[in-house]
Structure 1
Amino acid sequence: MWKKWKNKKLLKNEKGLTLVELLAVIVILAIIAAIAVPAIGNIIDKSKDRAILAEASNILAGAKIAYIDGVCEENGTCNTAALQQFVDGIDLTEHDASATYADNEWSISYKRFGELRTEILGDITLGTNNTLTEQQLNTALTNAGGEPETP
């Protein structure tokens, strides 16, 4: 009889969580959040960089087609207006883009290159008007974890 009464008394006293248990759960959740939030922020930044570089790669591919079609200027420069008809889904008038073919090398000037993080660019220095050569663009794509365009 004594055991029955003691078990019932123990069950009655164990309602809810103690303050220590609740604090332990909160501390664990705070530690998880402190680890997860910066990691997610880094993933978002990296995806923005990849998007900019992918757009630039698409613009450069459109410039090559425009150049072959003879739409570009005689000096090998494909301006924003000429490129827009060869690039789908990217508003070039908003972000000023042009590509130039000179000395057997393509270079692209794209306003959004200024938004790239320095760790993506690495040793690459942007030229005047946010310009990169095709080789530099491919290197930046590799730094960002993307796939460079194969010639």
Structure 2
Amino acid sequence: MNKIKTMMKNERGMTLIELLAVIVIIAIIALIAIPAIGNIIANSKDKAILSDASQIISGAKIAFADGGCASTTVCNGAELKGYVEGEAIKLEEKTTTVTKAGEVYTIVYAGFGDLSKDGKFNKEIKNNTISSTELAKLMGNK
């Protein structure tokens, strides 16, 4: 029994200095990781908005081919609803239009207003408008 007591006395836990050092290291790692994770989340939301716009343009191409648009050069959100699925289906009828000029489609999409204010995509989109070729470049589809 005495042997166990002497062994217990010789065992030592972590000192206060060691505990503080561990807490400081964890805090430094958190300071580095949190902004990086925030940027990743913002970037993925921006890419989702661009993907929605691309899906709307794809639906507009089908709508133009099917004659689903009242005009041969402009298709609005109400006319596109039957041609677009998923999150992009939430089209604002008055603020979403796709204009066709030859092989280039230009989209006016209110969803662009939700892009990160300091994100890299926001600089390329003026007045919630972008062409299909510029959108493809932003998405990396050149």
TM (norm. structure 1) is 0.78
Identity of aligned residues (%): 46
Q: Secondary structure at the match of 1:59?
A: helix
Matched, 1:58 2:61: no
1:88 aligns with 85
- Contact 1:95–1:111 (8 Å) recurs in 2: no
Match of 1:145 in 2: none
Report the TM-score when normalising by structure 2: 0.83
Structure 1 unaligned runs (5+)? 143-147
> Structure 2: which 5+ residue stretches go unaligned?
none
Work out whether 1:112 is the aligned partner of 2:111.
Answer: yes
**Quick check: 1:34 aligned with 2:31?**
yes
Give 1:41 deviation, angstroms.
Answer: 0.2
CA shift, 1:13, in A, is: 4.8
Q: What letter corresponds to residue 121 of structure 2 in structure 1?
A: L
Look up the match of 2:16. 19
CA distance in 1, matches of 2:94, 2:84: 13
Q: Given residue 46 of structure 1, which amino acid in structure 2 is its aligned partner?
A: N
**2:130 match:** 132
Give me the CA root mean square deviation. 2.6
Superposed displacement of residue 11, structure 1: 5.0
Counting matched residue pairs gives: 138
Contact in 1 for aligned 2:105/2:132 (Cα 8 Å):
yes
How many angstroms does 1:86 deviate by?
Answer: 0.3
Q: Kindly provide the amino acid, as one letter, of the partner of residue 134 in structure 1.
A: S
C-alpha contact 1:106 1:134 (8 A) present in aligned 2: yes
Whether the aligned pair in 1 keeps the contact of 2:77 and 2:94 (CA below 8 Å) is: no
